[in-house]
């Protein structure tokens, strides 16, 4: 039984221009609900007054809070203020105004980087705050942990139905194709496509190529978000992933095969590896009845097609 049907509801996707938010907005098109969005020019999420006024006027039933300052390992480690301050302010403004304006349900999106650097693998939700964080993204992680705690606090003190989901590393349409600031999948699609186009035989990978990561396709993430919005209510946040990981070198080889480039990878060990391994335990969400369905190669192909059609 659906706990929180979306039919007829007014639903705000905060961050609808980002990769995750855009996928959620696409997924909501197949629900009988009204999707609300606001561009940055219409609503500055860093302004508490603007957020309170806009939410006060909009009669919102539910919020997907996908707005965030995001980026890859280098952006995270070189722009600590942006990742800590902006994310804290956005989530505080939206969550507080959601309480003030009587929003019935809110889903906050975090990140798998909330877990300790050396968390036992696969990472269970219980690993939160059991050890030191990975230094390359601790600013982002602290902000996302604060977001989880805000949802739990408003639930405890005011009875708000605010929940949180922690996605693993994402990839897909709408990713930020920026070789310096992007996440690894987008950065490698760009680098390998460029190598193919220029007949280059080598591509540089940052770090050792040995860290292991888990990758979730955006459309699967969006489907999971709609599923938990409808079917889950609780203080405990939920991991969202595939439960399967691979090394960065294996990832690079898969992308090379989808793009059709043959060559060799070099390793720039002056760039950070980050956490040695990050794979989610997705048992909690699985027990509720959701699992990812997009095969990795099929997802990569869609991400590459989107890059060819929209970025080049
Ligand atoms: O996706 P990514 O930037 O961040 O990098 P994290 C993943 C791994 O890929 C690291 C390696 O070990 C990188 O060293 N890598 C190899 C590259 N070549 C490249 C490249 O050209 N670009 C990039 N970006 N990486 C992120 C956090 O950590 O995890 C985010 O920074 C977020 O905030 C996300 O939380 C889930 O996976 O290390």
Q: Please tell me the distance between residue 288's alpha carbon and the centre of ligand 1 in angstroms.
A: 30
Average model confidence (pLDDT) across the chain: 97
Ligand 1 neighbour 206 (Cβ under 6 A): yes
Ligand 1 neighbour 166 (Cβ under 6 A): no
pLDDT of 81 higher than 90: yes
Ligand 1 neighbour 82 (Cβ under 6 A): no
Res. 297 pLDDT band, cuts 50 70 90: very high
Catalytic residues: 140
Which residues have CB under 8 Å from 306's CB, separation 6+? 172, 173, 174, 175
pLDDT computed for residue 312 by the predictor: 83
Q: For 222-255, how does the pLDDT look when each residue is reduced to its tens digit (9 = 90+)?
A: 999 999 999 999 999 999 999 999 999 999 999 9
Ligand 1 neighbour 169 (Cβ under 6 A): yes
Burial class (CB in 10 A: 0-12, 13-18, 19+), 248: buried
Res. 2 pLDDT band, cuts 50 70 90: confident
**Do the Cβ atoms of 203 and 191 come closer than 8 Å?**
yes
pLDDT computed for residue 1 by the predictor: 58
Q: Please tell me the distance between residue 59's alpha carbon and the centre of ligand 1 in angstroms.
A: 38
């Amino acid at each position: 039984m659906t706990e929180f049907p979306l039919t007829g509801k007014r639903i705000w996707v905060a961050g609808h221009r980002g990769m995750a938010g855009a996928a959620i907005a696409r997924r909501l098109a197949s629900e009988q609900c009204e999707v609300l969005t606001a561009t940055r020019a219409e609503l500055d999420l860093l302004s508490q007054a603007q957020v309170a006024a806009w939410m006060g006027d909009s009669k919102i039933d539910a919020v997907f809070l996908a707005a965030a300052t995001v980026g890859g390992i280098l952006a995270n480690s070189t722009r600590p203020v942006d990742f800590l301050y902006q994310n804290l302010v956005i989530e505080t403004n939206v969550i507080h105004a959601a309480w003030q304006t009587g929003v019935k349900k809110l889903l906050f999106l975090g990140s798998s980087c909330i877990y300790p650097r050396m968390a036992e693998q696969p990472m269970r939700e219980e690993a939160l705050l059991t050890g030191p964080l990975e230094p390359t993204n601790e600013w982002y992680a602290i902000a996302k942990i604060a977001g989880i705690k805000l949802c739990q606090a408003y639930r405890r003190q005011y009875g708000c139905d605010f929940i949180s989901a922690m996605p693993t590393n994402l990839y897909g349409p709408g990713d930020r194709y920026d070789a310096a600031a992007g996440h690894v999948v987008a950065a490698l699609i760009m680098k390998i496509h460029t190598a193919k186009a220029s007949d280059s035989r080598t591509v540089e990978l940052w770090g050792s190529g040995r860290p292991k990561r888990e990758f979730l396709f955006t459309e699967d993430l969006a489907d999971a978000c709609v599923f938990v919005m409808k079917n889950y209510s609780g203080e405990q946040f939920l991991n969202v992933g595939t439960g399967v990981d691979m090394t960065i070198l294996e990832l690079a080889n898969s992308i090379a095969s989808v793009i059709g480039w043959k060559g060799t990878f070099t390793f720039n060990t002056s760039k950070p590896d980050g956490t040695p391994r990050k794979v989610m335990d997705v048992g909690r969400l699985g027990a509720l009845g959701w699992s990812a369905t997009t095969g990795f190669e099929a997802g990569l192909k869609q991400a590459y097609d989107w890059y060819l059609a929209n970025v080049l």
